[in-house]
Amino acid sequence: MRIFSALNGLLLAGAAVAQSSSGCSLQANESQAVEYGYALSFFLDRFYSSVPVNQTFLSSTPNGSSSQYFTNFQGIQRQNRLGVRAVQQLGSRLSGFTPQNCSFTFPSASDADTFVRNALQLESTVAGAYIALAGYTQAPEASFLWARLAAEHTAHAYYIASQNQSVLFPTNSSSLVPAYSPAHVLSNGTRPGQLGSFFQGCVTAPPAPCGQTLFIGPLTATLGANVSASAAASSSASLSASATPSPSFARRFY
């Protein structure tokens, strides 16, 4: 009897592990978050392809030669393409994943200096968008990719900012790197983190995690009662803006 009891316990434990493992695997309901993540990387890939990023063009910036812009922007373009490929590979595991090849618009750049400022704005925005997206998924393989892409684009943004200003980490900071909810990113406007006017309604924000709203603060995020997408975007934006963002370039270039 004791043997059967032990076997029953093992079987129940195995069933619990299997159930837990299944709950953490990539599910069809993640497809909207993956499509949104794909759109972020694809947007940056198209942005860099929309401008002749060559040696002559970039050397016309005030410090274009000394900063090795040409070599580094070539590497940034390469990493962005790898980001697109990574999200495609993640999406290939989802039956409902359909990458949207959107027709984006981009901020105008009449000269290389404006292009560099635009690149900083977009890289820092996409970094903040990926940080928040990690809170909109349950599968570790998806949240891992969003964290990895957030780190990549944060590195891009800090590199560009380091070539344009001396202080990147002000001593009066009271916030971590800004994070922007999908609803805020896809809204129209000119506030930090808004890309809606460039996306033109091509993708929609993924559903709130656990049927609740993720409110993003300067240090942490909390789940609360579900509210409308516009209210969530406004709340997240106001909380993020309530403290000085750690990278001072977020204020200078927006």
- Per-residue confidence (pLDDT) for residue 229, from 0 to 100: 54
Which class does domain 28-167+176-207 fall in?
A: mainly alpha
Those residues with Cβ within 8 angstroms of residue 170's Cβ, 6 or more apart along the chain or in another chain: 244, 246, 248
Q: How far apart are CA 28 and CA 57, in angstroms?
A: 44
- Per-residue confidence (pLDDT) for residue 251, from 0 to 100: 42
| The two structure tokens encoding residue 119 | 């690149």
Query: What's the sign of the alpha-carbon dihedral 217, 118, 247, 78?
Result: positive
- Per-residue confidence (pLDDT) for residue 66, from 0 to 100: 58
Whether pTM > 0.85 for this model: the answer is: no
Q: How far apart are CA 241 and CA 245, in angstroms?
A: 7
**Would you list the DSSP string of 52-93?**
---HHHHTTSTTTTTTTHHHHHHHHHHHHHHHHHHHHHHHTT
**Would you list the DSSP string of 167-182?**
-SS-TT--S-S----H
The HSE-up count of residue 102 (CA atoms within 13 Å, CB side) is: 25
**Would you list the DSSP string of 165-227?**
-S-SS-TT--S-S----HHHHTS-SSSTT--HHHHTT-S-PPPPGGGSEEEE-SS-EEEES--
Residues 78-83: contacts with CB under 8 Å, at least 24 apart: 79/152, 79/156, 80/41, 80/44, 80/45, 80/48, 81/45, 83/41, 83/44, 83/45, 83/149, 83/152
- Per-residue confidence (pLDDT) for residue 13, from 0 to 100: 44
| The two structure tokens encoding residue 111 | 């000269």
Ordered by start, the domain boundaries in the chain are 28-167+176-207
SS3 at position 21: helix
pLDDT tens by residue, the chain, 254 residues: 454 454 344 334 443 433 444 567 788 888 999 999 999 999 999 999 988 777 877 877 766 555 688 888 999 999 999 999 999 999 999 987 888 889 999 998 888 888 999 999 999 999 999 999 999 998 999 999 999 999 999 999 999 998 887 788 889 988 999 999 999 999 999 999 999 999 999 999 998 878 888 889 999 999 887 665 555 555 444 444 433 333 444 444 44
SS3 at position 241: helix
Q: What is the DSSP letter of 26?
A: -
Interior angle at CA 145, CA 23 and CA 147, nearest 5: 105
